[in-house]
Structure 1
Amino acid sequence: MTLTVRPRRRFVPAIAAAIAAVFLVTSFPAAANAEPNEISSTKVAQLRQTLESAAGQYLEAEGLLTKAKTEQAALNKSLVLAENRYLRAKTEVQKYAAEAYKAGRLGVIGVMLNANSPDDFLARSAAFEKMTARDESRISELVAARKEIDTTKAEIDGRVREQNKQLAEMKKLRAATERALSAVGGYATNGWVDPYAPTAAPAKRNSDGSWPSQGCTVNDPTPANGCITPRTLHALQQAQRWFHHYVSCYRSGDMYEHPKGRACDFSSEPDGFKNFSSKGENKLYGDKLASFFVKNASRLGVMYVIWYCKIWLAGSGWKTYRSAGGNCGDDPAGDHTNHVHLSVL
């Protein structure tokens, strides 16, 4: 007779738990808060690297352009002041020249010789020296003002050349980003921008208008628990004044902006990243958040924004963006139909 062994009852809860776990995994979307995998192919990885480099250089060139314009404005004011000083000095010198012409050199000597006493002669001599020093000072002022005008004009010309250089560089970088996007089907497209999007407080710039260089030096306040740059923190805090869905910034493991603390992913769903494309109110939430970053790009130092199969780049506007090809939303994380990606300089 064959003996049968009854299953031990203590295995039943473990089997039941395993079945329940399988049911939970297969019956519901991916767990909330899982970091989105935005890079789905080598081609997209190369694209993002190109965009990061070009967009960053574009903003740096834009900052240098702003610096050149600021310096030119200051130089223009200095030029006006120098020209006013030159006109005043020129008027005084012309007046002195006319008086000297009327009196003649012998006239001055005659005044000196007609002194009635040695003391009178010394007094007249001192007065003459004082007048000569005053007139020499006016002539020196005239020469100095003329020199300052010439120097200032040369500096202004230099700032204009710098502006033209940066404008040419920005044009080149814009073309580079558009070529990179067109290689993956990134044609120009219209992107909705909310006209009522709130205005952010501007991020800190240098006194001349350029962007300061920043590293990953402050704690990331999001659940990512890494580091971010002060400028990224500012953009995050400004956005969170009006937008309160789940957000994650720092992420290790790639060569792009997240590990550098220069990027954040803003979920369009309230409680975390979900493996499906947002619809309805949550889609509108993402639309408005993307609009906020685009509207305030120059205030926050935004390099680019990706949302719902579109990318907005500084200097280029909206372009189509596909991670895996096919239909928009086939890859919710890569196509960014479940979160708004922000990259700052």
Structure 2
Amino acid sequence: MTPLGRRCAAAAAAIATAVALLTAPLSPASAEPSPDDGGDQTLGAVLESSGKRYLEAKAVLDNSKKKQAELQKELDTAQGALDGLSQQVGNMAAEQYRQGRLTGPSLMLASSDPSGFFGRMTSLNELSAHNDAQLHDYLEAKDTIARAKSELDAEVDEEQKALTVIDKQKKEAEKALALVGGNVTTKGLVTASSPKAAAAPRTSSGGWPSETCSQQDPTTSGCLTPRTLHAYNEVKKAGFNRFVGCFRTGDIWEHPKGRACDWSLQTKGFSVWDTDDELKYGNDLMAFLVRNADALGILYVIWNRQVWFPATGWSAYVGDSTHEDHVHMSIV
């Protein structure tokens, strides 16, 4: 190509680029945030499935530890009672060995008059009742100890099973996060000063009840699960009142299920942070969610190239969306 031809081609390319820039749609602040899950179905599936199983196993583990503590307290109380009763029963046995077993006839023969006979008979009944009560308490304490030890052993087995599941789900989550650069751990955000949120309801075993998208989404015409609505209200109560969008279609993960919200840094719409105030708002919001993850049922949180996942903690996030324009919250 001649020099003139090269210059013409370069000019044409420049004109085409300029036209493309001028005619391309702007990215307004009101635009929807970019995809939440890095654009990788495997990542999203593993984050959701492993996250749920991890949280379920963690609930079992926490409940097991709580029950173990209660059983240990019961065991210690029963053991203390048994130790005291053992001394009393031992003294009673030694006394009977030294004096011979007291019987009705022996007491009656030792009586010198009717009043003495009835007095000794009353003493014998009282002593027998007292000894029987001590023996009953002694045997009951032994039974309590045996039952508590058996239940404690069973709880230890449950704990080990939960720990095995937790370890497996942690590894699954690490593999998923590696797809978006999550093999690089990060320091995360300070959470000590974040407000405390009210806890969402759990099952009697400490787990998260299954919920449907049954509540009106305050941010759209869609729906939210009761737990997601609870988290939404707690975030608002904590003072994070800028723009937020929750339910939306066109997403195969938590948003259409009413289990996710995107917390913008702006008072209206979404745009990438470019001020210290917007950065601090995002940092504080994510810190609040992480600190209250157990109370709210947080599945994972993504913000500003970082992802926090209960099974793994903080990791780098460099998926298709860097999440620099919003904090994404997914609820189990």
TM-score normalised by L of structure 1? 0.79
Judging changes above 3 Å, is the alpha-carbon distance between structure 1 residues 114 and 40 closer, same or farther for their aligned structure 2 residues? closer
Which residue is equivalent to 2:240? 243
> Within the alignment, does 1:343 sit opposite 2:314 as a pair?
no
Which residue is equivalent to 1:260? 257
Would the aligned equivalents of 1:67 and 1:208 in 2 still touch at CA under 8 Å? Answer: no
Would the aligned equivalents of 2:68 and 2:152 in 1 still touch at CA under 8 Å? Answer: yes
Would the aligned equivalents of 1:214 and 1:230 in 2 still touch at CA under 8 Å? Answer: no
Which residue is equivalent to 2:286? 290
Q: Secondary structure at the match of 2:100?
A: helix
Which residue is equivalent to 1:229? 225
Tell me how far 1:145 sits from its aligned partner: 0.5
Q: Secondary structure at the match of 2:101?
A: helix
Instruction: Name whichever of 140-149 and 189-198 sits farther off.
Output: 189-198
Task: Give per-residue Cα distances to partners, 1:62-84, cap 9 Å, x unaligned.
Answer: 11111111111111221122112
Judging changes above 3 Å, is the alpha-carbon distance between structure 1 residues 39 and 190 closer, same or farther for their aligned structure 2 residues? closer
Q: Secondary structure at the match of 1:233?
A: helix
Task: Name stretches of at least 5 consecutive residues in structure 1 with no aligned partner.
Answer: 1-23, 325-333
Judging changes above 3 Å, is the alpha-carbon distance between structure 1 residues 104 and 189 closer, same or farther for their aligned structure 2 residues? closer
Distance 1:205 1:286 in 2: 27
Distance 1:45 1:196 in 2: 34
Amino acid of the residue matched to residue 271 of structure 1?
K
Identity, % of aligned positions: 34
Tell me how far 1:208 sits from its aligned partner: 6.4
Distance 2:329 2:120 in 1: 80
Which residue is equivalent to 2:36? 38
Amino acid of the residue matched to residue 269 of structure 2?
G
Q: Secondary structure at the match of 1:105?
A: coil
Task: Give per-residue Cα distances to partners, 1:37-73, cap 9 Å, x unaligned.
Answer: 43574xx122111101111211111111111111111
Tell me how far 1:29 sits from its aligned partner: 2.2
Tell me how far 1:122 sits from its aligned partner: 6.0
Would the aligned equivalents of 1:205 and 1:211 in 2 still touch at CA under 8 Å? Answer: no
Which residue is equivalent to 2:178? 182
TM-score normalised by L of structure 2? 0.82
Judging changes above 3 Å, is the alpha-carbon distance between structure 1 residues 111 and 270 closer, same or farther for their aligned structure 2 residues? same
Q: Secondary structure at the match of 1:250?
A: coil
Amino acid of the residue matched to residue 79 of structure 2?
E
Task: Give per-residue Cα distances to partners, 1:211-249, cap 9 Å, x unaligned.
Answer: 331413332222x23222332223222222322211011
RMSD: 2.9
